C-alpha cells in the first residue's frame, strides 16, 4: 500500500493543505494566511498609489516652475522691445504673404499659357500688366522693411547685452557660492567674482529711440495706403476662370490687410513697455500659444497648440479607421463566425498588438508612406483633396499605423462586451421572429454599447499616448496644419505632444525653461489620460448596471 506511506504524516504534524485552509495564528511571524494575503494585496495597492504619486509629484513639480520662468521670458521680451517690433513685423509678414500669393498666380498663369503653346516672350508680354501690379505691390512695403530691419538690429543688440549680463551675474553667484563652501580659496574666488563687469541695462532709455519712430511708421503707412489704392485700381484681369477666382480672393485678402494697417498703428501707439507680465499671461502663452519655437536668435515660444492639434488630428484619423474595423470584427467573431473562423481571426488580430511599435514605424517609413505617396500621384485620384501628397511622412501615414495598433485593443474589449450580453436577450429576440441580423443590430450591439464605448475610449488612450510611430512617420513639422486646404490638411506633416517630449528631452539643458516646458506638455498628456480613464470607468459602471 504505497499510497498510505506517501500520505502518512508524522505524529502531531498538521498537513500543509490543512494548515493553509485552517485558521491558525502565529505560524508566520504571528500572522495567519488570511492576514498575509491581505497584506500582500494591500501592499500591491500601496505600491501602485506610491508610484502614481511619485510620477504625479515629479511631473507637476518640474512643470509648475515653468510658469515663473516663462513669465520672466515674456518680461524680457517686452522690456527689450521685441514685442513692439513684432507688431510691425506682423504687418510686413502679411504684406510678404500677399506678395507671394500674387507670384503664385503669375506662375500658374505662365504655366497655363506655356501649355497652350505660347512662347516665353509672348507669355511675358501678355502678363506685363500683371507684373506691374505685382512689382508695385512688392515695392510698397520697402520702407517698412527698412524700418523693421533697423528696429530688429537695435533690439537684438539690447537683448544680447542683457543675456551677457545675466550670464555674468550667474557666473558671479556661482563663484560666491563656491567661496562660501571653500574658505581656503574664498579670497581668490571673491576677487574673481568682483572682477566681472556686469552691465546694468536701462531698458527704458534703450527703447526710447525705438518708440520715437512711431510717427515714421505712420508716415510710411500713409504712403503704403496710397500705393495699395493704386494697385487695387490697376489690377489686371486674367483670361482663365480659375486665375480670375484666385485674383478675386487676393482682393478679399487685400481688403482685410488694408483694414489691419490701422490696427497695427493703434497697437504700436498703445504698447506699454512698463506693463507688468502676469502669471496668467505665462500660462495662456503656453495653453493657447500657436508657436513652439526653441533656440531662436529672436524669441523662444512654448505654445502647445500646434502639438495638441497634431495629436488630435492623428488620434481622430486613427480612430476613424480603427473603430469600424475593430468593432465590426468583434461583432463578426462573436456573433457570426464559425468556430474555426474564431480560432483563426481572434488570435491573428490580437497578435498585431505584439508587434513592436518601432517595427511598425520602420514599415511606415520604408514601405507604407512611400506607397501612399505614389498612389496619391495617380491621375484619376487628383480630385481627392491634398492629392498628390507632397510629403510621404504626414498625419495620415502615422494615423493608419496607429489605427493598426488600436484595432486589437478595441477588438478585444468590444468582443468581451458583446460576449457579456445575456444570452436570454438574443434568444428572446429570435423567439419573437427577428432575424439574426436584426437581433445583432437592435439587441446585441445596443446592449453592449456602453462596453464598446469604453473600448473606444481606451483605444483613444492607446493612440494619443503612442510615441515611436508618430515620431517616425508624422513628419515632425511643428506647425498648425493649413486648414484652408480643407481635407487636404490631413496629408500635411505634423508633430505631437508625445513626439516632442521624446525628441527634445534628451537634448535640453536640465532645469532650463525648455526643460520645464516639456514637463508642462507631459502634464497636458497626463490630464488627457486621466480624463479618458475617468470616462471609461464611468461608462463601464453604467454598462454593468444596464445588464445586471
Q: How far apart are CA 63 and CA 506, in angstroms?
A: 17
The predicted pLDDT at position 1 comes to 42
What whole-number percentage of the chain has pLDDT above 70? Answer: 93
253 and 324 both lie in a single domain? no
The predicted pLDDT at position 14 comes to 60
Domain annotation covers residue 418: yes
For residue 220, give Cα distances in angstroms to 148, 210, 228: 12, 15, 12
Q: How far apart are CA 163 and CA 193, in angstroms?
A: 18
Residue 29 pLDDT greater than 70, yes or no: no
Residue 63 CA to its chain's centroid (Å): 17
Angle at 201 (CA atoms; ends 197, 202), nearest 5 degrees: 145
Q: What SS3 string covers 80-99?
A: CCHHHHHHHHHHHHHHHHHH
Residue 269 pLDDT greater than 90, yes or no: yes
190 and 235 both lie in a single domain? yes
C-alpha cell at 249: 480672393
358 and 492 both lie in a single domain? yes
Q: How confident is the model at residue 18 (pLDDT cuts 50, 70, 90)?
A: low
118 and 244 both lie in a single domain? yes
Domain annotation covers residue 167: yes
- Helix or strand (DSSP H, E) at 292: strand 292-293
391 and 245 both lie in a single domain? no
Residue 239 pLDDT greater than 90, yes or no: no
The predicted pLDDT at position 72 comes to 94
* Tens-digit pLDDT profile for residues 494-527: 999 999 999 999 889 988 999 999 999 999 998 9
Q: How confident is the model at residue 24 (pLDDT cuts 50, 70, 90)?
A: low
HSE toward the beta carbon, residue 513, CA cutoff 13 A: 19
Q: How far apart are CA 457 and CA 463, in angstroms?
A: 10
What's the Rg (C-alpha) of the chain?
34
Phi, psi of 226 (to 5 degrees): -65, -40
108 and 244 both lie in a single domain? yes
Domain annotation covers residue 205: yes
Q: In terms of residues, how long is the chain?
A: 548
Q: What is the CATH number of the domain that holds 477?
A: 1.10.3720.10
* Tens-digit pLDDT profile for residues 351-360: 888 899 999 9
CA proximity to 169, closest of 147, 204, 193, 151: 193
* Tens-digit pLDDT profile for residues 173-226: 999 999 898 888 889 999 998 898 889 999 999 999 999 999 999 999 999 999
Is 123 or 154 the better-scoring residue by pLDDT?
Answer: 154
Q: Is 486 left (phi over 0), alpha (psi -120 to 50) or beta?
A: left
User: Which of these three, 249, 277, 305, is where a domain ends?
Assistant: 277
CA proximity to 387, closest of 379, 378, 398, 376: 376
Q: What average pLDDT does the segment 404-417 reach?
A: 93
Is 14 or 34 the better-scoring residue by pLDDT?
Answer: 34
Domain annotation covers residue 124: yes
Please give the tally of structural domains in the chain: 2
91 and 210 both lie in a single domain? yes
Domain annotation covers residue 300: no
Q: What average pLDDT does the segment 429-446 reach?
A: 90
With contact defined as beta carbons under 8 Å apart, do 286 and 274 qualify? no
On average, the pLDDT of the chain sits at 88
The predicted pLDDT at position 543 comes to 62
The predicted pLDDT at position 111 comes to 87
CA proximity to 400, closest of 473, 330, 456, 465: 473
Q: How far apart are CA 294 and CA 535, in angstroms?
A: 35
What whole-number percentage of the chain has pLDDT above 90? Answer: 51
388: cis peptide before it, omega within 30°?
yes
The predicted pLDDT at position 117 comes to 84
Q: How far apart are CA 319 and CA 95, in angstroms?
A: 40
Domain annotation covers residue 408: yes
272 and 317 both lie in a single domain? no
C-alpha cell at 446: 445596443
Angle at 35 (CA atoms; ends 31, 39), nearest 5 degrees: 110
Q: How far apart are CA 331 and CA 324, in angstroms?
A: 11
Helices (H) and strands (E) in the chain, counts: 25, 2
Domain annotation covers residue 461: yes
Q: How far apart are CA 535 and CA 528, in angstroms?
A: 11
User: Which of these three, 485, 505, 525, is where a domain ends?
Assistant: 505
329 and 477 both lie in a single domain? yes
Least confident of 39-43, 78-82, 343-347, 356-360: 39-43
With contact defined as beta carbons under 8 Å apart, do 171 and 219 qualify? no
Least confident of 131-145, 157-171, 222-236, 463-477: 222-236
**Which residue do the cell numbers 502647445 mark?**
304
Domain annotation covers residue 419: yes
Neighbours of 515 (CB within 10 A): 18
269 and 317 both lie in a single domain? no
354 and 216 both lie in a single domain? no
Q: How far apart are CA 356 and CA 138, in angstroms?
A: 53
- What is the extent of the structural domain holding 164? 81-277
For residue 214, give Cα distances in angstroms to 59, 273, 331: 45, 14, 69
219 and 328 both lie in a single domain? no
* Tens-digit pLDDT profile for residues 55-110: 889 888 889 899 999 999 999 999 999 999 999 999 999 999 999 998 988 888 88
Amino acid at each position: 500500500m504505497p499510497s498510505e506511506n506517501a500520505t502518512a504524516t508524522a505524529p502531531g504534524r498538521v498537513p500543509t493543505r490543512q494548515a493553509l485552509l485552517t485558521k491558525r495564528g502565529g505560524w508566520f511571524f504571528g500572522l495567519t494566511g488570511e492576514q498575509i494575503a491581505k497584506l500582500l494585496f494591500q501592499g500591491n495597492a500601496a505600491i501602485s498609489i506610491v508610484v502614481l504619486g511619485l510620477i504625479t509629484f515629479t511631473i507637476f513639480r518640474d512643470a509648475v516652475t515653468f510658469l515663473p520662468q516663462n513669465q520672466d521670458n515674456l518680461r524680457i521680451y517686452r522690456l527689450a522691445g521685441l514685442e513692439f517690433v513684432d507688431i510691425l513685423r506682423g504687418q510686413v509678414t502679411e504684406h510678404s504673404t500677399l506678395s507671394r500669393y500674387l507670384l503664385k498666380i503669375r506662375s500658374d498663369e505662365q504655366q497655363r499659357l506655356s501649355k497652350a503653346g505660347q512662347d516665353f516672350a509672348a507669355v511675358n508680354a501678355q502678363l506685363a500688366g500683371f507684373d506691374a501690379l505685382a512689382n508695385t505691390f512688392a515695392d510698397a512695403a520697402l520702407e517698412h522693411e527698412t524700418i523693421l530691419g533697423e528696429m530688429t538690429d537695435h533690439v537684438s543688440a539690447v537683448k544680447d547685452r542683457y543675456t551677457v549680463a545675466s550670464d555674468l551675474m550667474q557666473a558671479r553667484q556661482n563663484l560666491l557660492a563656491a567661496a562660501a563652501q571653500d574658505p581656503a580659496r574664498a579670497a581668490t574666488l571673491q576677487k574673481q567674482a568682483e572682477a566681472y563687469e556686469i552691465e546694468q541695462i536701462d531698458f527704458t532709455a534703450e527703447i526710447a529711440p525705438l518708440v520715437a519712430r512711431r510717427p515714421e511708421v505712420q508716415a510710411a503707412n500713409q504712403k503704403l495706403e496710397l500705393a495699395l489704392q493704386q494697385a487695387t485700381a490697376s489690377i489686371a484681369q486674367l483670361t482663365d476662370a480659375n486665375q480670375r477666382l484666385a485674383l478675386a480672393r487676393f482682393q478679399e485678402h487685400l481688403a482685410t490687410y488694408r483694414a489691419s494697417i490701422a490696427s497695427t498703428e493703434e497697437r504700436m501707439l498703445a504698447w506699454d513697455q512698463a506693463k507688468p507680465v502676469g502669471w496668467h499671461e505665462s500660462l495662456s502663452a503656453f495653453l493657447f500659444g500657436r508657436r513652439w519655437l526653441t533656440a531662436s536668435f529672436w524669441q523662444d515660444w512654448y505654445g502647445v497648440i500646434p502639438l495638441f492639434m497634431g495629436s488630435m488630428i492623428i488620434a481622430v484619423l486613427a480612430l476613424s479607421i480603427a473603430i469600424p474595423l475593430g468593432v465590426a470584427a468583434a461583432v463578426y467573431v462573436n456573433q457570426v463566425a464559425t468556430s474555426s473562423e474564431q480560432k483563426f481571426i481572434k488570435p491573428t488580430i490580437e497578435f498585431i498588438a505584439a508587434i513592436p511599435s518601432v517595427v511598425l514605424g520602420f514599415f511606415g517609413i520604408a514601405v507604407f508612406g512611400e506607397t501612399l505617396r505614389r498612389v496619391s500621384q495617380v491621375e484619376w485620384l487628383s480630385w481627392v483633396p491634398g492629392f498628390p501628397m507632397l510629403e510621404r511622412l504626414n498625419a495620415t501615414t502615422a494615423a493608419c499605423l496607429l489605427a493598426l495598433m488600436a484595432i486589437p485593443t478595441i477588438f478585444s474589449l468590444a468582443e468581451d462586451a458583446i460576449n457579456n450580453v445575456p444570452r436570454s436577450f438574443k434568444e428572446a429576440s429570435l423567439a419573437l421572429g427577428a432575424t439574426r441580423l436584426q437581433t445583432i443590430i437592435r439587441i446585441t450591439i445596443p446592449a453592449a454599447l456602453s462596453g464598446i464605448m469604453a473600448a473606444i475610449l481606451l483605444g483613444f488612450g492607446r493612440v494619443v499616448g503612442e510615441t515611436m510611430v508618430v515620431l517616425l512617420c508624422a513628419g515632425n513639422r511643428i506647425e498648425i496644419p493649413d486648414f484652408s486646404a480643407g481635407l487636404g490638411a490631413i496629408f500635411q506633416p505634423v508633430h505631437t505632444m508625445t513626439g516632442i517630449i521624446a525628441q527634445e528631452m534628451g537634448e535640453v539643458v536640465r532645469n532650463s525653461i525648455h526643460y520645464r516646458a516639456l514637463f508642462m506638455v507631459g502634464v497636458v498628456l497626463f490630464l488627457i489620460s486621466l480624463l479618458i480613464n475617468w470616462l471609461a470607468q464611468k461608462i463601464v459602471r453604467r454598462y454593468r448596471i444596464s445588464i445586471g
